[in-house]
Amino acid sequence: MDITWLGHSAVRIRGSQLVIVTDPYDISIGAEMPKVKADIVSVSHDHPHHSYVEAVEGDPMVLSGPGEYEIGNFYISGMGTARYPKPPSKEVDTETDDEGSEPEATNWNRQINTVYTFRSEGLTICHLGAIGQTLSARQTEDLNQADVLIIPVGGNSTIDIGKAAQLVSTIGPRIVVPVHYRINGIDEDEEPVERFLGEVGAVDVTPQTRLNVSATNLPRDMTVTVLQMSS
């Protein structure tokens, strides 16, 4: 499979038969999402930074919540988790809801994020969306077979960097792909990826334009792959 980063939490997963795009975003993020065509779009939660399906061409099938799906040669599962790391307040700059304002504090813990697991061609790829809290032991166990873990590491509107590193260690993927962090005018309130790399002890990481991975070329030890944003 071929994985490219489209910015923020959006990635394109290109298999032998189908193309998946995760969490497409609108221009309010500070940049226009690259032109992309897909057969399937997964949406982690209902916010224009993660659910702007109109940015994706090709009349894709849209997955927008927990459930089990079998599409072509992909078996996909969506698991609901808490969206926000803590109750939003005026002092905490979180992503706004779909009405353009912060969620009410009384409703914050009902905001759902969907973690998607994509299985095909002998690989298991997990996209954590905008996960806001650490997972339960049972939820973590469900993800322990992930070969590739795509995780937000900006630490502001998602789990903090320390918890992200701990989650990586607990799940134990073969490849970690960080997303949802600050780059050149995008996600200004998030931390740069270097903070996460330091937390997990990843040194001398050279960004790549894409990740080509198969069941036969997985690294023996856990590897962090930083992807350059596709244009």
Encode pLDDT of 78-98 as tens digits.
999 977 655 444 444 445 444
Q: How confident is the model at residue 108 (pLDDT cuts 50, 70, 90)?
A: very low
Mean pLDDT to the nearest integer, 2-19: 97
Question: What is the predicted pLDDT for the residue at 93?
Answer: 43
Tell me, yes or no, whether 21 lies in a domain: yes
Range of 147's domain? 2-224
pTM over 0.75: yes
Q: Encoding tokens for residue 20?
A: 């998946």
Let me know if 23 is exposed, middle or buried by CB neighbors in 10 A (0-12, 13-18, 19+): buried
Buried b / exposed e along 131-147 (16+ C-beta atoms within 10 A): bbbbbeeeeeebbeebb
Residue 18 inside a domain? The answer is yes
How far is the C-alpha of 106 from the C-alpha of 4, rounded, in Å?
Answer: 37
pLDDT at 105 over 90: no
Residue 10 lies in a domain: yes
With a cut of 80, say whether residue 39 has pLDDT above it: yes
CATH number of residue 13's parent domain? 3.60.15.10
Residue 230 lies in a domain: no
pLDDT at 189 over 90: no
In a domain, 128, yes or no: yes
- Is residue 170 in some structural domain? yes
Average pLDDT over residues 188-213: 93
- Indicate whether 8 belongs to any domain: yes
Q: Say what the pLDDT of residue 184 is.
A: 83
Counted domains in the chain: 1
129 pLDDT higher than 60: yes
Q: Do the domain assignments include residue 82?
A: yes
